[in-house]
Chain A
Amino acid sequence: MTLAVRVIPCLDVADGRVVKGVSFENLRDAGDPVEAATRYEAEGADEVAFLDIAAAHEKRGTLVELVGRVAEALSIPFTVGGGVRSVEDADALLRAGADRVTVNTAAVEDPSLITRLAEQFGAQCVVVAIDGKRVRDPNGLAVMRVMTHGGRCPVDRTVTSWAAAAAAAGAGEILLTSVDADGSQAGFDLEMLRAVRSTVDVPIVASGGAGHLDDFAKAVLIGGADAVLAASVFHDRIFTVGAVKEAMRRAGLPVRPAPARARTLLPRYDQNGLVPVIMRDVTTGTVLTLAWANADAIAKTRETGLAHFYSRSRQALWLKGETSGNVQRVAGISLDCDDDAVLYDVRPSGPACHTGAESCFTRVESFEAVSGDADGLDLTELFAVVKNRKESPVAGSYTNKLFDDGIARIAQKVGEEAVETALASVTGDGNALAGEAADLLYHLAVLLTARGVGPGDVAAKLAGRRGATRREKP
């Protein structure tokens, strides 16, 4: 399958302006929706969602006017929801340029609305938003219940039964928001996602709770979502859309590359407009220095091919080697996984340190002698055993069962084990992490062997891999 996992920034709007809701409460005004949506498109957003928070009670004209302005500016699809109560409401939004509409409370109150919308505009135009929250039933068991009116009012209906009914009525997609997870930044509600995934076949958009880059891939790999939606992490610039896509790509998920004009790396600058820059010798791999850059310094570096920084003490842009003549020719720049640190790979024309040393890091305090980790990890035996199983199958062997199930199944297992390893690293102790890592390495060895890739092939890649992978050639 080559259908890409969609990354959808959501803009909560009221009276034509962007607001941000934390757990649907405490709104604050923050910016122009058209500008924000355009920025998201440039970053590689696959779609933009607009949720009109005030619309359930207010006039519709402002929203329709906003939709028209958004349509004028975007060349990617966008979905609009909030207060859509009738075919006429949806018609006005679609005519103004929306690609799809989202219905929530009105559809719960009258499910025939979904069918009428699907008949009029096609199922693919109709997104049913479901807000779910855990409530204790009389026996004290947690039940996932549907909430309406912006997640405030519980309805006597489970999330799964409503999802099934909505899909049967003609919903083309389910936008599933966990009210429990929303605003927590503790990750998407994987349990709720799985429950709905096992109930319906239509696409599911995961919403609510994104806080870490890994959360997005988990929503797809574990939760079974087809798309991921988030508001505050994008709007507060905690992550860029590009960083989320890169994290998903690394987790093995298909993502659409960002438009060419967005492939220029965009660091996330701190409140002083600065980003730390590590400078490394591209030939030897030696770390030379750590300094700071502002946007002008990065731009100058691109323009001239020479390392430029920003001096915090002199409050000025400076060219490395300006006085000493030891300029640093930049071969490429890299950005770290959450966009807040830059790496310059350079070919030095002389020492990088003002003391005359090759590197600024010359004073060493060594811990090697007290490290208890000297035994290392040799995978030769593991690969030998796996290869032996492939060539001489053993009845009842789990390894042989994996080979029989085929590449797709083994690949899936590797994905699962990778996610479990990631989970153990944040939730388990060192022992649990080592256990998951062992499972991952074993399944990886099976996958490589199944594809005819030997340990030596991997070792060769490792040996040749000194540079960063997100490199931009100036």
Chain B
Amino acid sequence: MNEVPTTTVTLVDYGVGNTASVIRAFRRLGADVDFTADLDRVAEARRLVLPGVAAFAPAMNRLLETGLESAVRAAVKRGGRLLGLCLGFQLLFEESEEHGIHRGLGLVPGRVRAFQGGVRTPHVGWNQLLARRSDGFTEGLPDGSYVYFVHSYRPEGTDAADVAAACDHGGEFPAIVQRGNVWGCQFHPEKSSENGRLLLSNFLKHGAT
């Protein structure tokens, strides 16, 4: 990192899954990580990360019950850059069909659905990113780079202009979205070796809008 002496990443603590590796990945890049459920700190964050490894509905309910949902919205409204990872990425969309139909944050148009028949599910392993447009997050990442996916659902019906990179698993789906200051990726950059490190350092570099 060249510009700022220390970069702070605010990681939303809403009690879902393994966040240790996300914290470690940012710390290795020299960032300070504020892992917090504090509504004010989330609302004022300049770089906000929404992690998540769990089912959609309980995760969304936790965000609503804790008031973090409003805090995340407030941060986005103030121009803070939000990065959703895996389930945190799926929560960015309007709704999900995982075990019933559930509303998401609706920050990005699209709905989350299961992979359709004939394709190996869950989609587990290293797959290639197909570059669609470059806007900060994917800067310097060659087309066809491998990253690590673990998921059974993926968004569809997204706006093509929001898709920075796609992935092909029984048909293409959005793997990275960038809509204004809302970013997200379906895969796990913190588990994607050097390609993941590049993406996360791009997030640190770009920071708030």
A72 / chain B contacts, CB cutoff of 8 Å: 24
The answer to whether B150 touches A77, judged by C-beta atoms less than 8 angstroms apart, is yes
B interface SS class:
mixed
B188 / chain A contacts, CB cutoff of 8 Å: 77
Interface size on A, residues (CB 8 A): 38
> Chain B nearest CB: distance from A123 CB in Å?
6
B197 located at the interface, meaning its Cβ lies under 8 Å from any Cβ of chain A in the complex: yes
A172 / chain B contacts, CB cutoff of 8 Å: 122, 124, 152
State in angstroms the CA–CA spacing of A450 and B197 once bound together.
42
Bitwise interface map of B from 117 to 154 toward A, beta carbon under 8 Å scored 1, else 0: 00011111111100000000000000000101011100
Q: Size class of B's contact patch?
A: 35 or more
The answer to whether B194 touches A2, judged by C-beta atoms less than 8 angstroms apart, is no
A4 / chain B contacts, CB cutoff of 8 Å: 125-127, 146
B55 located at the interface, meaning its Cβ lies under 8 Å from any Cβ of chain A in the complex: yes
State in angstroms the CA–CA spacing of A72 and B188 once bound together.
16
Q: Which residues of B in the span 160-209 have a Cβ within 8 Å of any Cβ on A?
A: 167-169, 188, 190-194, 196-197
Cβ-defined partner of A99 (8 Å) among B18, B54, B146: B18
> Chain A nearest CB: distance from B35 CB in Å?
14
State in angstroms the CA–CA spacing of A310 and B25 once bound together.
42
The answer to whether A125 touches B53, judged by C-beta atoms less than 8 angstroms apart, is yes
B18 / chain A contacts, CB cutoff of 8 Å: 94-95, 97-99
A227 / chain B contacts, CB cutoff of 8 Å: 125
Nearest residue in B to A73 (C-beta to C-beta)? Answer: B24
A76 / chain B contacts, CB cutoff of 8 Å: 148, 191-193
Tally A-B pairs: CB < 8 A.
Answer: 100
Contact of A3 with B123 at beta-carbon distance under 8 Å, contacts A75-B193, A122-B54 already known: yes
The answer to whether B152 touches A124, judged by C-beta atoms less than 8 angstroms apart, is yes
B25 / chain A contacts, CB cutoff of 8 Å: 75
Bitwise interface map of A from 222 to 249 toward B, beta carbon under 8 Å scored 1, else 0: 0000110000000000000000000000
Nearest residue in B to A173 (C-beta to C-beta)? Answer: B124
State in angstroms the CA–CA spacing of A75 and B25 once bound together.
8
B66 located at the interface, meaning its Cβ lies under 8 Å from any Cβ of chain A in the complex: no
The answer to whether A46 touches B53, judged by C-beta atoms less than 8 angstroms apart, is no
State in angstroms the CA–CA spacing of A429 and B57 once bound together.
61
B127 / chain A contacts, CB cutoff of 8 Å: 2-4
> Chain B nearest CB: distance from A320 CB in Å?
35
The answer to whether B21 touches A6, judged by C-beta atoms less than 8 angstroms apart, is no
Q: Which residues of A in the span 116-131 have a Cβ within 8 Å of any Cβ on B?
A: 119, 121-125
Nearest residue in A to B167 (C-beta to C-beta)? Answer: A2
The answer to whether B53 touches A226, judged by C-beta atoms less than 8 angstroms apart, is no
State in angstroms the CA–CA spacing of A396 and B187 once bound together.
48
A364 located at the interface, meaning its Cβ lies under 8 Å from any Cβ of chain B in the complex: no
A29 located at the interface, meaning its Cβ lies under 8 Å from any Cβ of chain B in the complex: no
Cβ-defined partner of B20 (8 Å) among A6, A41, A71, A261: A71
State in angstroms the CA–CA spacing of A46 and B21 once bound together.
16
Nearest residue in B to A45 (C-beta to C-beta)? Answer: B193
Nearest residue in B to A68 (C-beta to C-beta)? Answer: B20
State in angstroms the CA–CA spacing of A122 and B153 once bound together.
11
Q: Would you mind naming 22 contact pairs between A and B with Cβ atoms under 8 Å apart?
A: A1-B169, A3-B120, A4-B146, A6-B125, A41-B193, A47-B125, A75-B28, A75-B192, A75-B197, A77-B150, A77-B191, A94-B17, A95-B20, A99-B191, A119-B55, A124-B151, A125-B53, A172-B152, A173-B124, A201-B120, A202-B122, A203-B125
B residues contacting A by CB (< 8 A) are 17-18, 20-21, 24-25, 28, 53-55, 120-128, 146, 148, 150-152, 167-169, 188, 190-194, 196-197
Q: Identify 7 new A-B residue pairs, CB closer than 8 A, beyond the known A71-B21, A71-B24, A173-B124.
A: A3-B126, A75-B21, A119-B55, A121-B54, A226-B125, A227-B125, A261-B194
The 7 closest A-B CB pairs, nearest first, are A124-B122, A256-B146, A256-B126, A2-B128, A4-B126, A124-B150, A77-B191
A residues contacting B by CB (< 8 A) are 1-4, 6, 41, 46-47, 71-72, 75-77, 94-100, 119, 121-125, 172-173, 201-203, 226-227, 256-257, 259-261
